[in-house]
Amino acid sequence: MTVLLGASGSGKSSLLRLLCRLADPDEGVVRFRGTDVRELDPLELRRRACLVPQLPAPIEGTVAENVAYGPGLVGRTVDTAAFLELAGLNGSFGDRRPERLSVGEQQRVMLARALALEPETLLLDEPTAALDESSRGGVERTLAQLAGEGRASMLLVTHERAQADRLADRVITLADGRISG
Amino acid sequence: MTSIDVSLGEVALALVLVALAAGVSLWRRADLERDLGLAVLRSFLQLTAVGYVIQAVFESDSLWVVVGLLSAMVALGTFTARGRARAVPGALPALGLALGAAAAVTLGLVLALGVFEPEPRYLVPVGGMVIGNAMTAAAVALNRLADEMSSRARQIEATLALGATSRQATAGLVTRSLRSAMIPLVDQTKTTGLITFPGIMVGMLLAGAEPIDAVRLQLVILWILLGAVALASLIATSLGLRGFFTAAHQLREPPNP
């Protein structure tokens, strides 16, 4: 797992959005696995490099519908319970409404629906920023386990040096939009 | 049909009721006296001017003059509706097309079906109502669309991040905008005759028409307006939505973190 470390406003989240082309740079080129992202189909790219946003933002519907949404867009059906379990949630969560869950559980739903796309890379934007300490530890363990299993390469953004030390194989430090270490 | 004569003196007598309104405003300190005065003056000048314009159009008996007049109404309606849809990028062409298409398609259809004769005395008032209702509906639709886009920006971007197109990521919100634009007229049509007497019917009854004739014409108009409002809202929301996204399915205005 690669961790992008930097203070808020240092450009970490923007970098993730550039990588999956939710935004385009004013100048310069962004490459994903060697290819200029502008040469790729943006929808296809977002399935290959899937962003998990900082705050949970589920679609309307049940937890299972959220997990099935992304694959459903390309006509695939998936075992939603399996992906919920990968994200550390019991399969019985499927019938519940995300907005009734705790923020920590919602964040796991966001992780499960990204995993359901079986992306090559997960882009994790401060995935534990909105969580209390106990749920943060749980989500970190889940992420470490997923990284260990080699399910997807992971690029995680954080402002917390300690979190970077706990999770990272490699730390890239950003300051004012530039790599400083 | 007998016609009805109203002298200027009789019009002036109706000002007694405006005086009543001004009295209420003064008494309850609603501070609306100046607005009331302005409203009376503007309604008098605007309607009198329009009366002469319509008379001239009727006398010209030329369909080209009618088309010119309706086009001017579409242009005016477009700019008026844009005032309520400033938060929608590219609202002006979207509204122009919505109003123009609503007017052209609905009037074209009723002419093709032979509901009305292609004469100025039908096309001008019906066209005016179609454009007016389309304007209100398109403005409501875009206003709601902009509100929804800004309150749900985070959710929309998170959905785009799963590989959804801009249209897929906003499906529910476009439907809600369309509904909010159409519901007032649908409800008005449901309760027509029970709670309100629609204007055309009132006008025809006052002018001495048979009630059943007045009712039939009113039904035709109401049903035409339903079609026009649906079409205008659909075009306004479909085109309005495009302004919020780039071709690569990105939000032009990224959500606040």
Mean of the pLDDT values across residues B2-10?
80
Q: Does B41 touch chain A (CB under 8 A)?
A: no
> Over chain B, what is the mean pLDDT?
92
Answer whether B154 sits within 8 Å of A55, measured CB to CB.
yes
Note whether B162 contacts A: Cβ–Cβ < 8 A: yes
pLDDT at B223: 93
Which pLDDT belongs to residue B199? 83
Percentage of chain B lying above the pLDDT 70 cut:
98
| B positions 170-229 inside 8 Å of A (CB) | 172
pLDDT tens, residue by residue, B53-82: 999 999 998 999 999 999 999 999 999 999
Residues B160, A46: C-beta atoms closer than 8 Å: yes
Q: Is the pLDDT of residue B3 over 70?
A: no
> Which residue, among B81, B107, B111, has the nearest Cα to B93 in the 3D structure?
B81
Q: Does B161 contact A at CB distance below 8 Å?
A: yes
The number of residues in chain B equals 257
pLDDT for residue B2 is more than 70: no
Closest chain B residue by Cα to residue A126? B257
Q: Is the pLDDT of residue B248 over 60?
A: yes
Please state, in angstroms and rounded to a whole number, the distance separating the CA atoms of residues A29 and A120: 20
The whole model's pTM is what?
0.85
Q: Each residue of B133-176: pLDDT tens digit?
A: 999 999 999 999 999 999 999 999 999 999 999 999 999 999 99
Distances (CA, A) of A151 to A83, A114, A154, A155, B257: 12, 12, 9, 13, 28
Inspect the interface and report whether the beta carbons of B163 and A60 lie closer than 8 Å: no
State CA A16 to chain mean position distance.
10
Q: Å from B179 to nearest chain A CA? A: 18
Per-residue pLDDT, A131: 85
Q: Which amino acid, one-letter code, is at B160?
A: L
For residue B1, the model assigns a pLDDT of 43
pLDDT string in tens for chain A (181-residue length)? 999 999 888 888 899 999 999 999 999 999 999 999 999 999 999 999 999 999 999 999 999 999 999 999 999 999 999 999 999 999 899 999 999 999 999 999 999 999 999 999 999 999 998 888 888 888 899 999 999 998 899 999 999 999 999 999 999 998 887 888 7
CB atoms within 10 A of CB B80: 15
Minimal CA separation from B167 to chain A, in Å: 12
Q: Please indicate whether, in this complex, the C-beta atoms of B162 and A70 are within 8 angstroms of each other.
A: yes
Predicted ipTM beyond 0.85: yes
pLDDT of B36 reads 94
Give contacts of A12 with chain B, Cβ < 8 Å: none
State the pLDDT at residue B16.
Answer: 95
CB-closest option in A13, A43, A57 to B163: A43
CA distance A1 to chain B (A): 20
A46 to B161: CB separation less than 8 angstroms, yes or no? yes
Helix and strand tally (H, E) in chain B? 11, 0
Question: In this structure, what is the dihedral angle of CA atoms B122, B128, B129, B135, given to the nearest 10 degrees?
Answer: 150
Predicted confidence band of residue B257 (pLDDT cuts 50, 70, 90): low
- The nearest alpha carbon in chain B to A49 belongs to B161
CA B25 to chain A, closest CA, distance in angstroms equals 47
User: Quick check: A103 contacting B, CB < 8 Å?
Assistant: no
